[in-house]
Amino acid sequence: MRNTISLIAIQILVLATSLILAGCKEPNISIKEQSSIPEVNQNSLRAHISFLADDSLKGRATGSEGYNIAAKYVASHFQQYGLKPAGSGDSYLQPIQFRERQLNIEATKLTFNKSSTINLQLPDDFVTRGNEVASEQKLTAPLVFIGYGIKAPDFSHNDYETIDVTGKIVVIMLGKPASFASEKGAHLANVRERARAAAKHGAVGVLLLHTPAAEKRYPYERIKKTLNSHSIDWLDENGIPGNSIPELKGSALLSQTAASLLLSDSEYTFESLLEKIEKDEPLPKFDLDFTATIQTQTKFKNITSYNVAGFIEGSDPELKHEYILYTAHLDHLGEYHSLEPLESEKDIIHNGALDNASGTAIMLETARLFSTNPPKRSILFLAVTAEEKGLLGSDFYAKNPTVPIDQIVANINLDMPLILYPIGDVIAFGSEHSTMEDFVQKAAETVNLQLSPDPMPEQNIFTRSDHYSFVKQGIPAVFLVPGFKSLDDSVNGEEMFQKFFAEHYHQPSDESSLPINYEAGAVFTQVNYLIGKEIGNSKERPRWHEGNFFGETFAKEN
């Protein structure tokens, strides 16, 4: 049932919650009686998640009133805990100007032009987000199939080596060669990296082909449902979208049916190309003997949203100038907007209790723990906006930091910690790339938990959350989540994880009414705190391992 609390009531609730947390008489819960481990207040975790995932915030969509209330809520707690502002000026808030674009569906067309014109249907055959910089755009150009569209010298792979794509629309198969089955390969095969490579080689447009493998990760039917949602990008000081590729005038994703149609009369059919992928054979590159026209009309609107930043000054006169960065995204998907009609009573609010009110709650409690006992280095806490829109808030901060970027020595990211069962281990995605692994290992062992390896390496999760914005600035980082090991023999942690993804991930059912285990949340908070403590008091800052791809590609000399 939707909550109808007024804005004034919400503001009162924010203040009341702050006072409750400040003077709460409920006992704090210590998971392990040890002087080096502070007590975590489970009631605080519960209160934070309950408030941030309340219907009144309407899913905390970037730039929405609900998100702004959530941002002020986080800022109020930073102030309560004594953190110094690290936003813009003397504020905890870092404002970001975004350009929001809404596709005019009726005016959007994609046609194949050969001896006759074939009109594709939106969204059954294709989806597009429109142009990033032009409100109206019409592109007609010849088509060329370019395999995976990847240029990766380290893998001895270059899809542009033998074919000219200048002035053409490149047709790219989603996926990547089997040899790219690593986080390094995932970076090189990122769709935006491929788009940049296409533009660099003179292409003017991109058509992506959905594949059976891509369908397993993100079904086309789900993609269709997002067509009516807004796309955004942050604007630089000149009002230019920060991640735009102006050389590309049009782009679209084709369904498998449309991909079959596109290649039906070519030397290689879509089905024969899929067979080559299955056999891990090189994909051919060839011109198609017809053109495509991509026509879009996009309505632009500028909106403002906020990162929220505060820091605790370190105790050492020299090391306090270095920062350990904690991140958690505060935004979620907002209300459900679809081309399909909804039942009048259907819940349309994506509350985002575990994605990512839980991560924000744990970060807030970690800030409280550090506020009374800072380590030698300073601790910077950052709640970011627009993660769900493409890691945009963290990307903006990494490129527009409020502290010197080369003085951020490590990043610990909290995104969707599924605290649903008594946890026996933690996973730190990306820890093997740097000495961060040693700090996480010691912290986990202190509270009798294991540090487990990545159980889903094929998902390349290290490249898929906010920490990656800082990795690309050369900062060693980990993405910390509870592991699959359950201390309750009657609960299978991996099954709980898969069940959440199947039934609640990015769905309105991700609510605070889920069976959240706050004792597990307290243990996870302790590990999170101890990682920062270990790094904060270490003589050496974390460093990338010798020869590591991410270190060699992104690290800057300090």
- Residue 449 and residue 319 in one domain: yes
How many Å apart are CA 100 and CA 258, to the nearest integer?
28
| Residue in 377, 400, 319, 360 with CA at minimum distance from that of residue 87 | 400
Residues 264 and 380 in one domain: no
Look at residue 556 in the predicted model and tell me its pLDDT. 62
pLDDT recorded at residue 27:
36
Neighbours of 47 (CB within 10 A): 18
Query: For residue 305, is it within any domain?
Result: no
Question: How many domains is the chain built from?
Answer: 2
Q: Of 390, 273, 279, 400, which is closest to residue 329 (Cα–Cα)? A: 390
CB-based contacts of 90: which residues, under 8 Å, 6+ apart?
A: none
Q: What is residue 400's three-state secondary structure?
A: coil
Tokens of 392: 């945009």
C-alpha span between 534 and 51 (Å, rounded):
31
Cα angle for residues 28, 500, 345 (degrees, 5° grid):
100
Measured at the alpha carbon of residue 385, what is the angle toward residues 380 and 388, in degrees to the nearest 5?
125
Is residue 80 a part of any domain in this protein? yes
Distances from the Cα of 464 to the Cα of 183, 332, 461, 467, angstroms: 10, 16, 5, 8
Residue 2 lies in a domain: no
Looking at the structure, tell me whether residues 274 and 317 fall in a common domain. no
Residue 219's Cα: distance from chain center in Å? 18
Same-domain pairing of 116 and 197: yes
Per-residue pLDDT at 341? 54
Whether residues 470 and 427 fall in one domain = yes
Within a domain: 117? yes
* Together in a domain, 430 and 453: yes
107 with 82, same domain: the answer is no
> In the prediction, which pLDDT does 459 show?
86
Domain presence at residue 250: yes
Dist. CA 470–CA 409, nearest whole Å? 10
- Smallest CA-to-CA distance from 365 within 34, 40, 76 is with 40
Instruction: Choose one of 242, 271, 300: the last residue of a domain.
Output: 300
- Count CA atoms closer than 13 A to 78's CA, side-chain side: 27
In whole angstroms, give the CA distance from residue 221 to residue 284: 29
What are the residues facing 426 on neighbouring strands?
A: 451, 482
Task: Say whether both 219 and 246 belong to one domain.
Answer: yes
- 305 bridge partner residues: 96
Beta strand pairing call for 109-113 and 117-119: antiparallel
- Is 96 domain-assigned? no
In a shared domain, residues 243 and 188: yes
pTM of the predicted model as reported, rounded to 2 decimal places: 0.90
Same domain, 167 and 74: no
For residue 486, the 8-state DSSP code is B
> Can you give the CATH number for the domain in which 425 is found?
3.40.630.10
What does the alpha-carbon distance between residue 56 and residue 69 come to, in Å, rounded to a whole number?
Answer: 10
Q: Give residue 180's pLDDT.
A: 84
- Which residues have a Cβ under 8 Å from the Cβ of 195 and sit 6 or more positions away? 206, 245, 248, 251
Find the helix or strand (DSSP H, E) in which 71 lies: helix 65-80
Contact yes or no for 117/349 (Cβ under 8 A): no
H/E run at residue 111: strand 109-113
Helix (H) or strand (E) holding 291: strand 286-312
pLDDT at 28: 40
Instruction: Give the residue from 363, 358, 352 showing the smallest Cα distance to 518.
Output: 358
Distance CA 219, CA 337 (A): 18
Report the C-alpha gap between 207 and 289 in whole angstroms.
16
pLDDT at 98: 98
Distance (Å, whole) CA 322 – CA 127: 45
DSSP 433: G
Rounded CA separation 314/336 (Å): 43
Q: Which domain holds residue 268?
A: 101-300
Tell me if 199 is assigned to some domain: yes
Give the pLDDT score at 32.
41
- Spell out the residues 6+ positions from residue 375 whose beta carbon is closer than 8 angstroms to its own: 314, 315, 324, 532, 533, 535, 536, 537
Domain-located, residue 307: no
Same domain flag for 407 and 489: yes
**Last residue of a domain, which of 232, 267, 300?**
300
State which H helix or E strand residue 112 sits in.
strand 109-113
Element (H, E) at 323: strand 323-329
pLDDT string in tens for the chain (558-residue length)? 334 334 434 443 444 444 344 444 343 434 443 457 889 999 999 999 999 999 999 999 999 999 999 999 999 999 999 999 999 999 999 999 999 999 999 999 999 998 889 999 999 999 999 988 999 999 999 999 999 999 988 888 999 998 999 999 999 999 999 888 778 888 888 999 999 999 999 999 999 999 999 998 889 998 998 887 889 999 999 999 999 999 999 999 999 999 999 999 899 999 999 999 999 999 999 999 999 999 999 999 999 999 999 999 999 999 999 999 999 999 999 997 655 555 555 899 999 999 999 999 999 999 999 999 999 999 999 999 999 999 999 999 999 999 999 999 999 999 999 999 999 999 999 999 999 999 999 999 999 999 999 999 888 899 999 999 999 999 999 999 999 999 999 999 999 999 999 999 999 999 999 999 999 999 999 999 999 999 999 999 999 999 999 999 998 644
Residue located via tokens 């270095």 = 322
Among 237, 269, 300, residue at a domain's last position:
300
Q: List Cα–Cα distances, 271 to 209, 256, 287, in angstroms.
A: 12, 10, 18
126 and 275 within one domain:
yes
* Residue of 194, 188, 228 whose CA lies nearest to 209: 194
d(CA 352, CA 416): 9
